[in-house]
Structure 1
């Protein structure tokens, strides 16, 4: 068996590492940050969520794109066709990692829009002011929306995680 070229090993490492990073980043927000946010008064909660969202939307999609392009390159470079099982698995890893975009648009955007509106409503409030959210339908308070968002975000994080696991499995197989 011929040794694997360095460029292939670097690409395998990059694809797996970046998709695992994106998964970890997204999942950490739901598992670590959201529960902490929920302890804060509503105006602070809204600001914390908005800041977290703004930072995440800058870095995670870009890193997911790097990962997906790397997996796609591996699929093409190693096998030249999708008629090879390993090529198909690298392609699936690419699709899963990029899946954070449609998942966000289809599954999370309705909640995001409601949270953006809440953030706008509380923009001028000082830390000392209490936000009273009266007359809301069940599940429509800022805390309930952030909690729902955190649960939906877990699903988004699972996509690049499965992509990383498949990429690792294909590399080691």
Structure 2
């Protein structure tokens, strides 16, 4: 498996292999934010096929509760592994470790992420990797579906954080 920063040529293949709702793909939005310097979009590859993704949003979670609790904390967002039969094989963990390494390279000492209340499997992974509860919040986001209808999404979540060790990085690149 390889974890790499998303390139422009990757977006169409991500759309093909790991679809997203909406008229404008979430992959295109994430790649655009990366181009503007607001994030870094990571893609996991196996045999030339994208099998997972995650984005580090450098200015953090948009939820006011999170911003108030820990201003400036970068957020790992949109972690996903596809197809589902590849889950629990280390892909998500590898994406998280690469995001942590990247945050340390950028001089950050903490990384956060949100987990939906209805996703105990992800919460267990994050706990095993050392993430701890910071605050509860409601994640609100929207997208325009393929029929042009704006869909509003509301998810009760918990924001988790992990202090990143400083000093030399002893992280194996995957």
Give the TM-score category using the shorter length.
under 0.3
More strand as a share of residues: 2
More helix as a share of residues: 1
* Structure of greater Rg: 1
TM-score by length of structure 2 reads 0.21
